[in-house]
């Protein structure tokens, strides 16, 4: 299957009949800013049903990156919570959405280097109460230091079949987002038959991660 390039508002169907069960969500950009990817697993009312369904770099629900087995904080094992967070990755309550280690970016004001973060979704594990999974990117402390997405070049979000590493679809965000510090890049939406589709969203907000928390939590 060739990659399908999406425009804002378009959807791409992820068909169970084609054996699609594990996907990788790639969020990429060129930027000197520190960007963070996160996901919200939403119920029918459009908000998370559990704190662990906000998957982000500082999540309290974490797992071993190799086995995906839950790793609660253990002082004897990790020493402190900083070590615990550096050696584990965030995971949703149902185990269906797994985050990645934080990519701090290149630190180059010209934003010449590629940067990005990835998230993994096991569609068969998603709690039946979840109807949408929203993928976002925020600028770390952007509202404090004045950094906005106007500094971010060539942002995109793509969906990859993890079984064969085939990129299924990609959405290149072409909006300027001159004042925004948080962007909803795309979302997975489940219909009444339990079929998933990916929607290109591309909606920006001021207020960084806190604004997203206010909306979805």
Q: What is the pLDDT of residues 139-186, one digit of tens each?
A: 987 777 888 998 899 999 999 999 999 999 999 999 889 999 999 999
Mean pLDDT across 4-32: 89
3-class DSSP state for residue 209? Answer: helix
Residue ranges of E strands in the chain: 4-6, 11-14, 22-30, 35-42, 54-55, 62-63, 89-90, 97-98, 114-122, 132-139, 153-161, 166-172, 182-190, 196-205
pLDDT at 154: 92
CA 90/CA 118 separation, integer angstroms: 12
Q: Phi first, then psi: give them for residue 93, nearest 5 degrees.
A: -60, -40
Pick the CATH number of 4-58+103-216 from 3.40.190.10, 1.10.287.130, 3.40.50.1820, 2.60.60.30: 2.60.60.30
**The pLDDT of residue 107:** 46
Low-confidence winner among 109-113, 132-136, 170-174, 187-191 (lowest mean pLDDT) = 109-113
Torsion of CA 125, 199, 3, 33, to 10 degrees: -90
Query: Exposed, middle or buried, 84 (CB in 10 Å: 0-12/13-18/19+)?
Result: middle
């Amino acid at each position: 299957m060739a990659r399908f390039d999406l425009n804002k508002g378009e959807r791409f169907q992820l068909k169970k009949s084609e054996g699609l069960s594990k996907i990788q969500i790639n969020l990429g950009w060129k930027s000197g800013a520190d960007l963070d990817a996160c996901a919200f697993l939403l119920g029918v009312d459009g908000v998370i049903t559990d704190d662990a369904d906000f998957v982000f770099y500082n999540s309290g629900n974490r797992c071993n990156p190799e086995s995906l087995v839950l790793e609660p904080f253990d002082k004897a094992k990790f020493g402190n919570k900083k070590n615990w967070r550096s050696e584990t990755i965030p995971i949703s309550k149902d185990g269906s959405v797994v985050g990645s280690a934080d990519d701090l970016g290149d630190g180059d004001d010209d934003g010449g280097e590629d940067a990005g973060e990835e998230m993994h979704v096991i569609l068969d594990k998603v709690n039946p109460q979840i109807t949408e999974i929203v993928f976002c990117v925020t600028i770390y402390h952007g509202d404090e230091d004045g950094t906005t997405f106007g500094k971010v070049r060539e942002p995109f979000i793509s969906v990859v079949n993890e079984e064969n590493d085939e990129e299924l679809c990609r959405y290149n965000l072409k909006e300027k987002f001159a004042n925004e510090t948080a962007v909803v890049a795309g979302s997975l939406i489940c219909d009444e038959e339990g079929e998933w589709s990916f929607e290109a969203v591309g909606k920006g907000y001021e207020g960084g991660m806190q604004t997203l928390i206010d909306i979805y939590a």
